[in-house]
Amino acid sequence: MKDSILFYSTNLNAEPVIFSEALLKGLAPDKGLYMPEEIPAFTKEEIKSFSNKEYYEIAFEIGRMFLRGQIADDDLLAIVKDAYNYDVPLENVYDNKYVMRLDQGPTASFKDFAARMMGRLMNYYLNKEGRSITILTATSGDTGSAIANAFYGLDNIKVVVLFPETEVTNRQRKQMTPLGRNIRVIAMKGKFDDCQALVKEAFTDPDLDYLKLSSANSINIGRLVPQIVYYFYSFAKLRSGENNEEVIFSIPSGNFGDMMGGIFAKNMGLPVKKFIIATNQNDEFPKFMDIGKYEKIEPSYNCISSAMNVGHPSNLSRLIALYGGVMDEKGSVSQMPDMEKMRKDIFSISIMDDATQQTIKEAFNKHKLILEPHGAVGWKGLMSYLENNKENADQLCVSLETAHPAKFPEKINELLGLDPDLPDSLKGLDEKEEQFDKLDNDYLEFKAYLKERY
């Protein structure tokens, strides 16, 4: 065992680096994504012991495995304790079927889990090295606000958030535009994929080297590690203690960062029977699983689960790497992964908007369960899977709810005729003053904007 885990690039054309370097760089110099050379694993006994631990303590156990030799235990413990000061409700829907609500953080989306830990880790390493960076991030709504809130006020980090002008809700926008200070927000006249393309181009532009650009998108390894934790947490709290017990997770997915956390958890020893990867109409991955041929969707479809309107999931190359294949950042596969093994672990399904809306109604009428569009895609994926795989009827199942229903008040009201209660984090947004710039979907304009201001 090496002293520290090194991180290699999925494009296999860059030197492996230590955690802090992968964290602060974001993207590898060859445009690949960083992956751990070794995935540490827990023993069954260790996993059993998690049942008596708090959320932040499980986060600590997982973090120290990946950060071996790179951070003192005390420092890591302080970081996770500060980051995870909110609830993670496990809502029983029927029998042993649960919804895990990952919506109690400061921006009411699951992205808070990753952003809060990543921000604190970056700050820790930057302070240690006495330097500063600029975070450039494209958002389809929830990432931007989670990053902006998690990084607000950190002196060594400037943040620039790009969002597609017409693809985020008023509330999502208002969670980032009033912040100011080290946070700058730009509305782009384009789609999420366009924003992401501009960001990627900026990263490899030598004229912008002086900005020390880094990414906080779901491609950053610092986002991935925290997203392993809630899989362990839910199993620890819900397990019955029987031998050979396994769990099925259903994950509403866009850029596949969330699901990669789950896949890592399984590789670390969590007994997962199946992952259900539920997408909206953007079905490039379910199709790939079906026919073994990958074709991204350009432009991506606009669906009501807007944070999942992704025509080429940026974390897909990580999944492919884990199953022995190679996919570059453009989505071309130079080595096929082990499809058979992938199909054994993963069932993927595309859920159209009308089925998503129907599910929101049904879940409420049947179970008094309030879901928003993303969580409904996950829940519907699980229901379809169980319907077609009756042998799994008794299995422990956890479907992830990735945002708070109050973030989509118009949709919920239209479908259920009620207004979801606002969590504290979303109260008072309407009175705040917004501050943001508008840019065309044009790289040179974007570059000039950055050079002028920084």
Ligand X SMILES: *Cc1c(COP(=O)(O)O)cnc(C)c1O
Binding residues (CB under 6 A) for ligand X: these are: 109, 111, 142, 218, 252-258, 307-308, 374, 402-403
**Cα(62)–Cα(41) distance, rounded to whole angstroms?**
9
CB closer to ligand X, 115 vs 211: 115
CB of 406 to ligand X, least distance (A): 12
CB of 297 to ligand X, least distance (A): 15
**Cα(15)–Cα(128) distance, rounded to whole angstroms?**
23
Half-sphere exposure of 206 (CA within 13 A, CB side): 0
CB of 145 to ligand X, least distance (A): 9
* CB-based contact 400:102 (threshold 8 Å): yes
Print burial letters for 93-129: b (CB count within 10 Å at least 16), e (below 16).
Answer: beebbbbbbbbbbbbbbbbbbbbbbbbbbbbbbbeee
CB closer to ligand X, 111 vs 274: 111
CB closer to ligand X, 171 vs 374: 374
Structure-block tokens of residue 12: 């296999």
CB closer to ligand X, 163 vs 256: 256
- Strands 90-94 and 272-279 turn out to be unpaired
CB of 130 to ligand X, least distance (A): 33
Element (H, E) at 327: strand 326-327
Sequential DSSP letters for 95-154: TTEEEEE---STTSBTHHHHHHHHHHHHHHHHHHHT--EEEEEE-SSHHHHHHHHHHTT-
CB closer to ligand X, 239 vs 296: 296
* CB-based contact 43:95 (threshold 8 Å): no
Sequential DSSP letters for 28-96: -TTS-BEEESS-----HHHHHHGGGS-HHHHHHHHHHHHTTTTS-HHHHHHHHHHH--S---EEEEETT
CB of 255 to ligand X, least distance (A): 3
* CB-based contact 290:296 (threshold 8 Å): no
Instruction: Tell me which residue of 174, 64, 156 sits closest to 117, measured CA to CA.
Output: 64
Element (H, E) at 228: helix 226-238
CB closer to ligand X, 64 vs 200: 200
Q: Can you give the length of the chain in residues?
A: 454
CB of 305 to ligand X, least distance (A): 7
CB of 433 to ligand X, least distance (A): 25
**Cα(374)–Cα(304) distance, rounded to whole angstroms?**
8
CB of 218 to ligand X, least distance (A): 5
CB closer to ligand X, 229 vs 308: 308
CB closer to ligand X, 258 vs 284: 258
CB closer to ligand X, 125 vs 222: 222
CB closer to ligand X, 24 vs 308: 308
Neighbours of 75 (CB within 10 A): 13
Query: Residue 439: which residues within 8 A CB-CB, separation 6 or more?
Result: 186, 187, 188, 189, 445, 446, 449
* Backbone φ, ψ for residue 186 (5° rounding): -125, 130
CB of 407 to ligand X, least distance (A): 8
CB of 97 to ligand X, least distance (A): 20
